[in-house]
Amino acid sequence: MTDKYILLATCSDKVGITALITDVIAQHQSNILHLDHFTEYDDSQNAEGQLYLRLEFEKIESLKDDLENTLTKHQINYNLFDNQHKTKIGLFVSKEDHAFNEILLRVNRNELPAEIVCVVSNHENNRQFAETLNIPFYYVPNTEDKEVVENKILKICSENHVELIVLAKYMQILSDHFVNHYPNQIINIHHSFLPSFIGANPYKQAWHRGVKLVGATSHYVTSDLDEGPIIDQDVIRINHRYNVQDLRKIGRHVESSVLAQAVEYHVLHKVIVTANHKTVVFT
């Protein structure tokens, strides 16, 4: 694999932005490997557009300063990533193991360019599997005040240099204080096809409504519960024979794959959260 830089950038749309950026890259003899470009207009299509860009290009050390200066000078918001750096993940889990194992195993299989630097759980039952893969496991029970618990966890994340928190069925609502430490850096899996069945017990709600598909939604966590920007969704067909327990069981498979897909998009630097709380996912 070539060493490369990945650039995510956004600004108000105007003539010449792409030329500006690609010129700098070309001047340094770096080859562009991928470029994707999206301009969003609001619904009325009257307003000025917002430009979202993703580029992959050969890593040439000399170009970094030049590129960053150009982007800054033109007031373009950006993140520049080096594809040799693996995103450091803090994996949070409660009792259920399915989404947790899916993430662990995909990382272990090198399917995701990421490193799980710590597992945080309010139960002990997933310790063994984490430790089998030599990943530090932190047991932080909910036996104290939420503030105390969260501060312990923030400290763990900080000490482990966590860059992305993955809630693999963590089942605890994080405070705004916590969430603000990791803006657009916490991914959750919600066990329904949002915005259907918001709130508790979505599979029971789904059974009562008699839906013919159940789904799952992965999203960034914001202070607004179940309202964070959606990264990915998928559904699976069911029929009248599925009782609530069957829905939970089949739901696990779609939860696991939808969460893993969102984590993959994030660690490959394919996602930008837009001004209107949605995501651009450059697939």
By CB under 8 A, what part of segment 82-111 binds a copy of itself?
97-98, 101, 105, 109, 111
- Single residue of 121, 160, 188, 233 touching a copy of itself by CB under 8 A: 233
Residue 283 interacting with a copy of itself (CB under 8 A): yes
As a whole number of angstroms, the distance between CA 37 and CA 53 comes to 5
Whether the Cβ atoms of residue 189 and residue 169 lie closer than 8 Å to each other: yes
Contact stretch for a copy of itself (CB under 8 A) within 85-93, 158-166, 168-176, 204-212? 204-212
Task: Show the tokens assigned to 163.
Answer: 């860059």
* Min dist. Cβ of residue 227 to a copy of itself (A): 9
Task: Show the tokens assigned to 165.
Answer: 């928190």
Contact stretch for a copy of itself (CB under 8 A) within 9-17, 63-71, 144-152, 167-175? 9-17
Residues 14-33 that bind a copy of itself (CB under 8 A): 14-20, 22-23, 25-26, 29-33
Contact stretch for a copy of itself (CB under 8 A) within 34-42, 66-74, 140-148, 179-187? 34-42
Residue 184 interacting with a copy of itself (CB under 8 A): no
* Min dist. Cβ of residue 232 to a copy of itself (A): 6
| Integer CA distances (angstroms), 29 to 23, 24, 33, 66, in order | 10, 9, 13, 13
* Min dist. Cβ of residue 145 to a copy of itself (A): 33
Active-site residue, from 13, 226, 234, 246: 226
Helix (H, G, I), strand (E, B) or coil at 138: strand
Task: Show the tokens assigned to 20.
Answer: 């500006």
Residues 237-256 that bind a copy of itself (CB under 8 A): 239-241, 243-244, 249, 252-253
Our CB check for a copy of itself shows the closer of 16 and 145 to be: 16
- Single residue of 11, 35, 80, 154 touching a copy of itself by CB under 8 A: 35
Inter-helix orientation angle 63-73/17-27, to 10°: 160
Please list, residue by residue across 90-125, b when 16 or more beta carbons sit within 10 angstroms of its beta carbon and e when fewer do.
Answer: bbbbbebbbbbbbbbebbeeeebbbbbbbbbbbeee
Contact stretch for a copy of itself (CB under 8 A) within 136-144, 152-160, 183-191, 206-214? 206-214
DSSP assignment letter at 212: S
Residue 61 interacting with a copy of itself (CB under 8 A): no
Query: Which spans in 62-168 are helix H?
Result: 63-73, 98-108, 127-132, 146-159
Task: Show the tokens assigned to 140.
Answer: 């932080």
HSE on the CB side for 68, CA within 13 Å?
10
**Residue 224 annotated to the active site:** no
Residue 204 interacting with a copy of itself (CB under 8 A): yes
Whether the Cβ atoms of residue 17 and residue 68 lie closer than 8 Å to each other: no
Number of residues that bind a copy of itself (CB under 8 A): 74
* Min dist. Cβ of residue 107 to a copy of itself (A): 13
As a whole number of angstroms, the distance between CA 259 and CA 185 comes to 14
Our CB check for a copy of itself shows the closer of 56 and 163 to be: 56
Our CB check for a copy of itself shows the closer of 164 and 214 to be: 214
As a whole number of angstroms, the distance between CA 3 and CA 129 comes to 33
Q: Active-site positions?
A: 226
